[in-house]
Structure 1
Amino acid sequence: MKNLTVYSKDINKQPSVPMQVLVRKEIAAHIRSWRFIILILLIILTFGASLYISSMGLKDAVSNMRDPDQSFLYLKLLTTTDNSIPPFHVFLNFLAPLLGIALGFDAVNAEYNNGTLTRLLAQPIYRDNLLFAKFLAPLVVVGTLFIALVLMMIGGGLLGTGVRIEPQELLRILGFTLMSVLYVAFWLSLSILLSIRFRQPATSALTAIGIWLFFTVFFPILVNLAIRPFLPNPNYISEQEYIGYNELILNLLRISPSQLYTDATTTLLMPSVRSLGPITMEQMVGAIPSPLSFRESFLMVWPQISGLTAAMMVCFAWSYYIFMRREIRS
């Protein structure tokens, strides 16, 4: 009777064990893959180049008395540039989708084409465990990478300047890191969805890259072309109507995930940003150019965070629905 009791306890603990094994397996596979190593090197090189350029111009940026963000030294390391190369958060807007697509475009269809999917699911594991592992393992790797880069930046700043980091700066940098991981998670969930939908990895990769190029390059052009015929002459409309049209264009552009990420990271890394849209002259009267608190900036970008989270959850739920109904033995 005692042995049966111990065995039943082991059975109750069993569902968590396959999940851990699958996550460790996926992490090891990603770390050893050449495409992941190449993308990691690209991100590290861009981070190092951006950090070097920002540190070179940091003295002039901090000495600028007109800049309300001059006291935020570590935020300047991520945003200051001499216009030779973009700052790191702009680089990451370009590289993060590629990282998410590269980690997920063959997550499921490669297992199917290699014949390992049926062998995996023949083990005492559930389908949702496999799908969750395909999604969680790349996020663990990406989150570890971004946190390591941030810690290197903070450590280098402490050694180079001797200035301690303020709590507001630390919160904003952590918020930027979590926002970047969330941005990668959206493209990862989209690429996993395409890897379930299409049997060939090349098809899913090209489709994901096409979606990324559409929202990054062509979508703003299409919005401007579609809105331009309906825009009235600014000389014959009031200021309120003109601001309303600009807000309409911005809201349409925020359908793009890259625009949501740009708005969120710019607000988190630049405390002087007080609005994400056009404002009237009456609203600017009496405004003091002072930085916002982290709470106020976070509340300002909460719609962007919610939008990216909702888009990620929709893509993952759709892929979960397709994968659970897919016949894998054929």
Structure 2
Amino acid sequence: MMNVLINKEVATHIRSWRFIVLILLIVLTFGASLYVSSSGLKEAVGNMKDPDQSFLYLKLLTTTDNSIPPFHVFLNFLAPLLGIALGFDAINSEYNSGTLTRLVAQPIYRDSLLISKFFAPLIVVSTLFTALVLLMIGGGLIGTGVRIEPQELLRILGFTLISILYVAFWLSLSILLSIRFRQPATSALTAIGIWLFFTVFFPILVNLAIRPFLPNPNYISEQEYLSYNELILNLLRLSPSQLYTDATTTLLMPSVRSLGPIAMEQMVGAIPAPLSFRESFLMVWPQISGLTAAMMICFAWSYFIFMRREIRN
């Protein structure tokens, strides 16, 4: 029965116009970012001062001529919209149309219905991101003739999985709001408001709240100054977009050795060499754990509310 529900949800999403529009938007931004990065790829690879110059396929995702942002920056903006669009009316649309009563009247468990509403969009999103990554790798093989290194493949797969996890968080949040609010417009506006708050207003509020307490940099030690900057970064990491940015930047740029401020003593004698995939993964493990925990909390809350709610005509 679970397979039937998931197949039905996948077919519904594939046929919906809003999903088609978002797919076209993501594909167009991916193509534009790939075109800009490939046009400046020769110059980026030839830059001997760049420790990441040997990672050709990672350059396809991170190189830009400043006309448009790279793809992982675009995805930080578009992935929440994709998750919200796929989940803001997952439950309340069924309730308003009267199909939810007929579904629960069948020999179907409520948790099976909720799980299918969560996993079906993730299957579609995972297929989309995997197809885009394969297209990028195939285009790179045809255009350059350079084979992809195992570490590059691992980093690109890690980036894909983190992007899917990021969409899953916003999907679980939008499903929670679709259970909480009866009208789809209310749940959609609330989800978009939360996204705008964490993306735009939260960094501003953190800076405004911390700035009055920051001492004059001319009268404090370097260690105290670094501690205050570390505090600001830790507060910013309460935002899911900041966690996603930290994780993807570290995986796609192997030369990134720290996600916080570094003292001059720590820089002395440091060789600008790329980290291994394992070291980069361990560095971003707290960010991945934070996104996973936030997604699970939203889904568990949705499960709790939906299982206790009385469904009537």
2-structure distance, mates of 1:163, 1:110: 49
Is 1:283 the counterpart of 2:263? The answer is no
What is residue 269 of structure 1 aligned with on the other side?
A: 252
1:305 is displaced (CA, Å) by 0.1
**Unaligned stretches of 5+ in structure 1?**
1-17
Q: 1:146 aligns with which of 109, 116, 129?
A: 129
Give a deviation string over 1:249-297, Cα, whole Å, max 9, x none: 0000000000000000000000000000000000001100000000000
1-structure distance, mates of 2:269, 2:105: 69
Question: Quick one: percent identity of the two aligned structures?
Answer: 88
For normalisation by structure 1, the TM-score amounts to 0.95
Give a deviation string over 1:5-41, Cα, whole Å, max 9, x none: xxxxxxxxxxxxx100000000000000000000000
**Unaligned stretches of 5+ in structure 2?**
none
Is 1:186 the counterpart of 2:157? The answer is no
Please list, as runs of the form range in 1=range in 2, the aligned pairs for 1:97-112 lying within 5 A after superposition.
97-112=80-95
Corresponding letter in the other structure for 2:3: Q
Q: Which runs of 4+ in 1 moved over 6 A?
A: none
What is residue 225 of structure 2 aligned with on the other side?
A: 242
What is residue 66 of structure 1 aligned with on the other side?
A: 49
Alignment: residue pair count: 313
1:122 is displaced (CA, Å) by 1.1
Please list, as runs of the form range in 1=range in 2, the aligned pairs for 1:196-215 lying within 5 A after superposition.
196-215=179-198
What is residue 300 of structure 1 aligned with on the other side?
A: 283
What is residue 21 of structure 2 aligned with on the other side?
A: 38
Q: 2:58 aligns with which of 46, 61, 75?
A: 75
1-structure distance, mates of 2:159, 2:311: 39
1:123 is displaced (CA, Å) by 1.1
Secondary structure of the 2:80 match is: helix
2-structure distance, mates of 1:237, 1:19: 61
2-structure distance, mates of 1:274, 1:327: 52
Q: Which is greater in Rg?
A: 1
1-structure distance, mates of 2:312, 2:189: 26
Please list, as runs of the form range in 1=range in 2, the aligned pairs for 1:224-243 lying within 5 A after superposition.
224-243=207-226
1-structure distance, mates of 2:88, 2:8: 17
Is 1:29 the counterpart of 2:2? The answer is no
2-structure distance, mates of 1:329, 1:130: 16
2-structure distance, mates of 1:175, 1:196: 31
1:54 is displaced (CA, Å) by 0.1
Q: 1:93 aligns with which of 76, 98, 106?
A: 76
1:329 is displaced (CA, Å) by 1.2
Corresponding letter in the other structure for 2:211: R
1:222 is displaced (CA, Å) by 0.2
2-structure distance, mates of 1:30, 1:165: 33
What is residue 166 of structure 1 aligned with on the other side?
A: 149
What is residue 12 of structure 1 aligned with on the other side?
A: none
2-structure distance, mates of 1:122, 1:155: 48
Q: Provide the aligned C-alpha RMSD in A.
A: 0.4
Q: 2:203 aligns with which of 210, 220, 245?
A: 220
1:220 is displaced (CA, Å) by 0.2
1-structure distance, mates of 2:205, 2:267: 32
